[in-house]
Structures are given as structure tokens and as C-alpha cells.
Amino acid sequence: MINASAINQTIEIIPLLGYELKKAGGYHVGACPFCGGTDRFTVKHTRDGDRCHCRQCWDGKYHTAIDYIMRRDNVPFKTALQTLGGDAVGSMRPITPRPQPKPIQIPDSTWQASALLDVDTASAALITSQVGKDFLSSRALLPGTWEAWQLGFSFEYDPIAKRKRPAIIIPWYDMDSMGEMITAVKYRFMDSDPNPKALRYSCKTGSKFDVPFGLWDALPGFHDSLLLVEGELNCISAWQCRPAGVSVLSFGGEGSGDARAMQSIAARYKNVYVWADDVWDNPKQVNRAKELRALVRGRGRALRSVKQDEVKQDANQLLQVGALDIFLSAVLNVACTEYPAEYYLNKINEVKNDRRTSR
């Protein structure tokens, strides 16, 4: 009979990853299979077998090969033991190779250096760009918010309009005590164009959108709740007036964001809310909707934007009319899932009336 100790002593962890790690002294380091990064995942060889650890998304301890399989496959101990060749009542059997998920994509250091220079230049340009400042102010975003998110201004090429157009520069950052990383640079075009197919958004070539937007501000050790929203400007809007104890991240557009990365982050919060729109009802986004709903935890719920007079009121639109803080306070403290729009409107009106009464 092969027991767990024998499995953990004999099975190497790196081949289970499906990609190579870099040797660093007595360790091997590289991207985490669950939350990305570049060097946050570590494997070390000990006389008791391989042990692995991620400084970002695990609990600060080193784990065995069985622990890794339990997390990777979301299976109990016995199933993980059998996967690695052990059997509670039998003997060791050959391991059947299984397809490994594609590692989370992170741009290389050369691209990141170029992107950081672009962002620094654009951030400085925003200070003197009246059109850029007017655009952000018209969306009720405050100068302190521009600076916190390192927003910028630049002229970027639109291949559909076939010209350079004014754009707000939105960088996707991740950072921790070991350093910072930039994974994408998004362009939000500001002007209109005669071509109805002209782009609204574009990005710097080589951008990767696997990790969530706003990860630099994720505080699972201090915040109990996580709000995941669709779209960068919606995320920034919610961050500007978020209730206490809430981290705000975005998965970008409907198809952005690696499910494993989002699951790893969401698992560190007691309550997780997901605010999206078209993905809930789009038949082409059924799998995506399932992934997003699976992130909901605790008293969290799946949310959708209010529609008033058939116009969708997303986070930034609610911010512009001074109702986003009321909306967030209402929905983040009511235990239910996917309320209809009428419920949100009623709650907003109730809170408004309460404020008037207390004056």
C-alpha cells in the first residue's frame, strides 16, 4: 500500500505545473498557477519531498504535492492521493498525464519597461491637458483618483478610424512588497468619429488581461468584502466612493480576466459581489456567466446595473448623478441575489428619504 507520506516524498511538483520554473539557489521560482505574477510561486526540494508556496495567494506555509493537487483540481484528499498514484486500499499505479492549464500570461520585462515609460509620459501630459481633465471631470472622477490610478492622456492610433485620437490612458498594475508589475495599458478614446465602427477602446500591443484590474489595491487581510465589476472606469468609480471594508477590482471586458486568478483572489474574502451586465443574459457568454457566479461568496451576490427609462445606469453613470455611494451602501448590505432593477431604485429612494429625514 502506498501512503500519503510516500507520495509526497516521491512525486515532484514542477512536472505537475506543466511549465518550467527558474532555479534560484536552492529553490525554483516562477509564475503562480493560480494567481499569476512572475516570481511569487516557489518550489523547494527537501528530504521529505517537494514543497511549494505562493507569497500572494496561499497561507504563508509550504505545501505538499497532494496539497497542490487538492487545490488545483478542487478535490478532497483521497482523490488527490489517487490522482498522484496512491490508493487507500491498493498499490501505486502509473500516473496518467493530464492536460495542464495554460499559465497565466504576464508581459516580459522589456515590454513592462516600455509600458511604464508610456504611462509616466501620459500621466505627466494629463496635468497640462485641459481636454483630458475635462473628460475625467465630466465623469465625476476626482483629481486624487486620477493620480491614485495613474491615469494619463495621449494621442493613440485607431486602426479603424485610421488616425491618432485623444485617449485616456489606463494602466493595469499589480504590486506587492517585492515590487511592481504592469500587465496592460488600455486606451479609452475620448472623441467621436464619422466612422460608426471607430473604436471606443484599444490597448498597447502586448498587453495581457489575465490578472484583474486594480490588483494593487486588493487588501484581503484588511477588507472583508470584494466587489468585482465590469470595466475599468466603473471600477475606478466604485473605488472612489466604496464603503469601508470593500476592495474593488475589475475583470475588464466580458471576456477578460483568467478565472483561476479571480478564484484565487476571491477565495481570500468573506464576501464577494460580482457586478456585470450583458454577460448574464448573453447566450454566447454562458460559460463566462457560470465562472463569474461561482466567485460569489458569503453574503455576496451577482449584481446587474439599474435601467431607468431603458438606459443602463452603470457605476460611472450613477457616480455622475451622485447616486453611486447610495447604491453601493444599499446592495452591499442586503442578503439576496440578482435583485431586479426596481429593487435597487426603491432602495436608493429609501436611503435618500432617510437622509432627508435625518437632516
- Stronger pLDDT, 284 or 110, i.e. the higher one: 110
Q: What is the mean pLDDT of the chain?
A: 84
| Chain segment 10-34, per-residue pLDDT in tens | 888 988 888 888 888 778 998 888 8
**Residue of 217, 218, 265 lying closest to 34 (CA atoms):** 265
Q: Stretch 28-51: mean pLDDT, rounded? A: 87
- Please tell me the class of the 209-359 domain: alpha beta
Name 336's bridge partners: none
Contact 26, 45 (CB under 8 A): yes
Domain segments of the chain: what residues?
4-83, 105-208, 209-359
| Chain segment 210-221, per-residue pLDDT in tens | 889 998 888 888
For residue 70, the model assigns a pLDDT of 92
Q: Does domain 105-208 have CATH number 3.90.980?
A: yes
Q: Stretch 155-180: mean pLDDT, rounded? A: 89
Q: The cell 474574502 sits on which residue?
A: 269
Range of weakest confidence among 108-117, 169-178, 288-297: 169-178
To the question of pTM greater than 0.85 for the whole model, the response is no
Q: Stretch 225-245: mean pLDDT, rounded? A: 92
Q: What is the DSSP string of 273-297?
A: EEE-SHHHH-GGGHHHHHHHHTT-B
Q: Is the pLDDT of residue 312 over 80?
A: yes
Q: How confident is the model at residue 93 (pLDDT cuts 50, 70, 90)?
A: very low
| Percentage above 70 pLDDT, the chain | 86
| Chain segment 238-257, per-residue pLDDT in tens | 999 988 889 999 988 756 77
Q: How far apart (Å, rounded) are the C-alpha atoms in residues 83 and 95? A: 7
Cell readout for 80 is 488527490
